Structure 1
């Protein structure tokens, strides 16, 4: 988890097996917040104004899970900590800094509306994009990380409302976050909802990805992983709240190592959205599923005949249909350290700690 203003321990060895310990220093400067108003055409504010420990921690964070593993020439995931901190309030400024070649910590200080609707900003490597308090919002679009893009952190944002009026929309590929062949990405403490297609699409061998402490809600296709015949991706998914999402919770296709733990999947009764399935291990995926909490979900855990799921310590309340396990998987602790919350505490822990404005030290 985040350790602001302290040394950070990261384990890894090329992404395979227990390896050497390296130490990374968090961003020395605090997250900057500009308090003076700006016009739509004004430049981003780079003046430090908020040096509180909580503000600094959002920008200083380095990833856990597979995003922390040293591999592919990248030592963990720390985003833009080695670059300047800029505060943005306009689409032009957000796109300018997110697509730049240089590293940046980009603080989103208000609601930014995408134009045209569905626009996905093509984020470059070595970026941290973080919301200021609970004010940072991306409305009507999202982010795209292309082939080879790496070392990107997206935290503490609300990304919402590219929905085009069709529930199972096959005409608008308007995702909150789409990744095609990226690596070392950390998606943390965001609220993702009401988009036209996927909330998160991890595609085409995107790997060394950690998705943690997010709220994925009020949606059809929540979190899809795959779009590849290769089985090379390593992904950690923990402490996320899947609430009123019909499918892809996630759908995990051809993942070499899929580690899911302490997630809360909730299908509340009496709503217009009904789950079709929960965690789905597809293709050749090897999945370890630990201490998660499934409430009211139909088909909470399913797998293909070719896929594996090792279940440990999960809780199922009011679920129905398929709940499957089988095959062999892997030991996540040979890749990185982690601590499990008891499954019984997952609803309260995830409800209180997930999404923007929570405590970044969790």
Structure 2
């Protein structure tokens, strides 16, 4: 279990697609977020390779690799449960759950709340009977309190959240409330996980003392809806021009600024084979992506001198991710001549990646990632590592995903990372992304300015391993720990200035000095009080001209 100095924390959630059919009677109203700010009571992402603090009953539990480290219950022949934490009364228990096999009918993989023991608790489970079950165990078999039809597919990750406040129980799948009940059997207890004659992987367990924001299920109208035809932008309306602010604009490592495919031809792609072929070509090329393209699972390599940009507001990539960089090689400790460079990715939505949505590695440089919408991947939404530098990440909307943005992958990678990882993050909307906003190792200066942070339940900027982070002019809204240089592992250095903290956000935990970004490039700060309005209006897809 990852331990932060002073308390245990964890992750919030990763949103994945699940088809949930809900019968709704009467009008539904959007449930308001409680006014009290969420305190993190407990969390475990199992990245330390152990399950210290968990008590088990039945089954075969172990920490295993499944993309990242997860807590796996590998047998289907037992009623397997694991509990952790304290005797909390009001609690919201959340975890990513991937059922892998069921033994018999009416089996489930679940999260538990108010667990007084391994045989007395409330549970929210994904059942092989094609349903989501809200129930309780009181010494005997499970009792269903409420259920809703759902498509539950083995091998697929779902985010479950069970909220128990007073006598009210609510169950959420992928941040959508699907079941609810009233019960007074258990007043308090621990959090837990269960595989009821089912095998499953569990990750990113988080317990808070208030519920998170929720969505109301879509109600299908009884009348035939009016169908509005989709207006497709004409061919050629592909905005390939633009100039970055920040490190991507610097003159360094033999590259003056980031121009992508400028000077090369322009091609339009709308199939996976066309896209993968185009991004791997040598020489400058502007690639216009039309519609959402589902690519094969895994990471797909991008060559130097490429602009990859979406047409209109509905272009994107699903099912896999983009890799900018050479193959991993720990023996390389300085920028090689053939490092991937001069790449622009703009105006694209990324969904359902099986690894990272975008990964930048191995001394790749002069990369501009701008005006994208990233959500619902598997590992990181946008990770930068292994000596990569002179990168700008701007005007992106990242949302409902736990492991958001990593800068520097490991405390032991100083040989490649010291003196590198120079990255600018500006005007991004970090929307319900609990951690890694970004999480930084070694880079200096890392410039984080004019971003809007909303409901980040763990950390905003975490600056570690002697990194130097300049954090200025940002707007932090309901952020537990906005800026810290003592999050986990070796301390870093950070300077926080001219930021806004609202709605019970914490205060910066910073010390040390950091290089001034203005040494490398010029920039103008927006008034931090206006950042929320500026960023929510301008970040994401469909916001750049043609």
Normalising by the smaller structure, the TM-score range is: 0.7 to 0.9
- Any residues of structure 2 matched to 1:1-362 within 5 Å, and which? 35=234, 49-50=235-236, 55=238, 58-115=239-296, 117=297, 119-147=298-326, 148-162=339-353, 174-181=355-362, 182-227=364-409, 228-229=413-414, 230-231=417-418, 232-267=420-455, 275-304=457-486, 306-321=491-506, 323-360=508-545
Q: In structure 2, what is the Cα distance between the partners aligned to 1:215 and 1:345? A: 17
Question: TM-score, normalising length from structure 2?
Answer: 0.52
Name the SS for the 1:205 alignment partner. coil
Query: 1:356, CA displacement in angstroms?
Result: 0.7
Unaligned residue ranges in structure 1 (runs of 5+): 1-32, 36-48, 163-171, 268-273
Alpha-carbon contact 1:34-1:87 (below 8 Å) kept = no
- Unmatched 5+ stretches in structure 2: 1-231, 327-338
Query: More deviation in 324-333 or 338-347?
Result: 324-333
How far apart, CA to CA, are the structure 2 residues paired with 1:99 and 1:67? 21
The Cα shift of 1:62 comes to 2.5
Higher fraction of strand: 2
* Per-residue deviation, residues 49-84 of structure 1 (Å, max 9, x unmatched): 446xxx4xx301132200110111111101001110
Report how far residue 96 of structure 1 moved: 0.7
CA shift digits 1:211-264 (9 cap, x unpaired): 000001010100001023132221100000000111101101110210110001
Deviation of 1:323 after TM superposition, in Å, equals 2.2
TM-score where L is the length of structure 1: 0.78
Name the CA distance, whole Å, in 1 between partners of 2:246 and 2:545: 16
Q: What secondary structure, in the 3-state scheme, does the structure 2 residue paired with 1:95 have? A: helix
Q: Supply the distance in 1 between the matched residues of 2:474 and 2:403 (Cα, whole angstroms).
A: 20
After TM superposition, the structure 1 stretch with the greater mean CA deviation from structure 2, 327-336 or 200-209, is 327-336
Query: Aligned equivalents of 1:358 and 1:94: distance in 2?
Result: 23
Q: More helix per residue: 1 or 2? A: 1
Number of aligned residue pairs = 293
CA distance in structure 1 between the aligned counterparts of 2:505 and 2:538, rounded to whole angstroms: 28
> Runs (4+) of structure 1 moved beyond 6 Å?
none
8 Å contact kept, 2:444–2:514: no
Structure 1 residues 302, 104: closer, same or farther in 2, change over 3 A?
same
Q: Indicate the structure (1 or 2) with the bigger Cα radius of gyration.
A: 2
Q: Secondary structure at the match of 1:178?
A: strand
Contact map agreement 1:62 1:77 (CA 8 A) in 2: yes
* RMSD of aligned Cα (Å): 1.7
Could you say what secondary structure the match of 1:349 adopts?
helix
Instruction: Assess, with a 3 A threshold, how the Cα gap between structure 1 residues 193 and 226 changes in structure 2: closer, same or farther.
Output: same
